[in-house]
Structure formats: structure tokens, C-alpha cells
Amino acid sequence: MAQHTPPAPRICPACDGFASVSVTLGGRDARGHLRTITAHCPACHGTGTAPARRDREGARA
């Protein structure tokens, strides 16, 4: 019997699936660690996927 695989999640068009990035602030702290901040994609809120579009019947194209 064949196994059904779930459909692949839609990749966010704004970030192409790379939803979170670390950005260096330049320089290091007193212990020598690189200072970074994390930035998330504003479109998908850091998930990397976009919800499936639901077109309403009769909607204009």
C-alpha cells in the first residue's frame, strides 16, 4: 500500500525560506564574543513558510 506524503509547505516569497538571520554589530564584548542581533522576516514572522492562499469563488483575478 502506498504511503501518502503531506504537501510541502509554501516557502515565504519575501525571504525564500531564510526567515531569521544574525547580524553582527561590529566589535566584540569584554569576553571576546562577537556581538550579534537576530532579525526575523516581517512577512512570515520568522517561520520561513507562507500560509496557502485561499481564493474565494467568484473573486476577480
Q: What is the pLDDT of residue 5?
A: 79
Q: Rounded distance, CA 56 to CA 42, Å?
A: 25
pLDDT at 56: 58
**The pLDDT value given to residue 52:** 67
Q: What is the reported pLDDT for 7?
A: 72
* Mean per-residue pLDDT pooled into runs of 10, the chain (61 residues): 76 89 91 93 88 61 54
Strand partners, 11: 49
Strand ranges for the chain from DSSP E: 20-28, 34-40
Alpha carbon distance 45, 14 (integer Å): 11
